[in-house]
A = this chain, B = another copy of it.
């Protein structure tokens, strides 16, 4: 029987009537999916198989007699390890991420001036970074904070790439800027606050550019994978997942880096996983230990905020390394990459 696989298990309440079971089966049938009833002396369970899209939309909890609805299969498919066993390797310019290749992405939070960016890019290159990061459009919690240079910033990023050969990662916040961002950058970043901006996800799913997708502050690992599924489903398979800390009650760090997310994402998905210790910790002195921990836990890349003059940064100065500090951290990262049996770039 070509029934597809079980998507869902419905557990009926103790004492559910035959009529209530029948009404559930009618709903399934009217939706064109299959229900298989298993009854023992003490419980009735209905296994549901068929089109995932259809099953996901059924209002089963609202039916009388239904106790619990238990999804059996994961709510994502294309990004799952079951769908593709081997690691996805994404090659950008001359370097790669995933499948034994580790990315070291460094650069300032915001592109501020041409001088600042060129200096940062040179320091990133000198320290051994494999990609350059820098924001031209900045999501800022306060409307009174610096909002980024826009297209002018994108042009500077392209110039920095030309000067150093480093591919450029930059954030997209608005689907109306997609053309500009895709034109000037090598990897499009979706920020934590936009992880569930589904219009933006669909939009970047339709362009031929790798996407670095940051986990939302309150997003579960499963929701991150569902957000990635939005992108892949539109045709763009080159998605890099990024753990950058979640919001918890702890205030000693800006966010709580969920280090367990690294092995769990690697287990559940074939996509590469990068860690951003700068945003997670919000503190310069935690960047090195968290970078090493992330690699030890299996990360495919590290993304670090670095600024030629942190004390003059227009944003995130307190968490940006200076070039000298970056160089020291990058050397330790390179050592750890060797220890785990991988290679940089």
Q: State the CA gap A258–B221 with chains docked (Å).
A: 16
In this complex, the interface size class of chain A, counting residues with CB under 8 Å from chain B, is 35 or more
Does the CB pair B145–A57 fall under 8 Å? yes
Does the CB pair B220–A198 fall under 8 Å? no
Instruction: List CB contacts (< 8 Å) of A40-84 with chain B.
Output: 40-43, 45, 47, 49, 52-53, 56-57, 59, 61-64, 67-68, 70, 72, 75-76
Does the CB pair A45–B56 fall under 8 Å? no
Is A247 an interface residue when CB atoms closer than 8 A count as contact? yes
Other-chain residue from B3, B45, B197, B311 in contact with A62 (beta carbon distance below 8 A)? B311
Taking the closest CB of chain B, its distance from the CB of A159, in whole angstroms, is: 24
Is A174 an interface residue when CB atoms closer than 8 A count as contact? yes
Taking the closest CB of chain B, its distance from the CB of A62, in whole angstroms, is: 4
Question: Which interface residue of A3, A196, A259, A313 has the most chain B CB atoms within 10 A?
Answer: A259
Does the CB pair B298–A289 fall under 8 Å? yes
Across the interface, which residues of B come within 8 angstroms of A145, CB to CB?
Answer: 53, 56-57
Is A99 an interface residue when CB atoms closer than 8 A count as contact? no
Q: State the CA gap A246–B252 with chains docked (Å).
A: 13
Is A222 an interface residue when CB atoms closer than 8 A count as contact? yes
Instruction: List CB contacts (< 8 Å) of A260-286 with chain B.
Output: 260-264, 267, 280-281, 285-286
Does the CB pair B72–A70 fall under 8 Å? no
Taking the closest CB of chain B, its distance from the CB of A225, in whole angstroms, is: 10
Residue on B nearest A288 in the bound complex, by CB? B263
Across the interface, which residues of B come within 8 angstroms of A314, CB to CB?
Answer: 57, 59
Does the CB pair B246–A248 fall under 8 Å? yes
Is A236 an interface residue when CB atoms closer than 8 A count as contact? no
Stretch from A87-95, A122-130, A134-142, A161-169 contacting the other chain: A134-142
A311-B62, A318-B61 in contact; A142/B42 too (CB < 8 A)?
no
Stretch from A4-12, A113-121, A179-187, A206-214 contacting the other chain: A4-12
Residue on B nearest A68 in the bound complex, by CB? B70
Other-chain residue from B59, B199, B249, B267 in contact with A313 (beta carbon distance below 8 A)? B59
Residue on B nearest A52 in the bound complex, by CB? B144
Does the CB pair B42–A36 fall under 8 Å? yes
Instruction: List CB contacts (< 8 Å) of A146-189 with chain B.
Output: 146-147, 173-176
Other-chain residue from B37, B216, B250 in contact with A40 (beta carbon distance below 8 A)? B37
Instruction: List CB contacts (< 8 Å) of A221-260 with chain B.
Output: 221-223, 226, 229-230, 233, 246-253, 256-260
Q: A residues touching B (Cβ–Cβ < 8 Å)? A: 1, 3, 5-6, 9, 11, 14, 27, 36-43, 45, 47, 49, 52-53, 56-57, 59, 61-64, 67-68, 70, 72, 75-76, 139-147, 173-176, 193-194, 196-199, 216-218, 220-223, 226, 229-230, 233, 246-253, 256-264, 267, 280-281, 285-286, 289-290, 292-298, 310-315, 317-318, 320, 336, 339
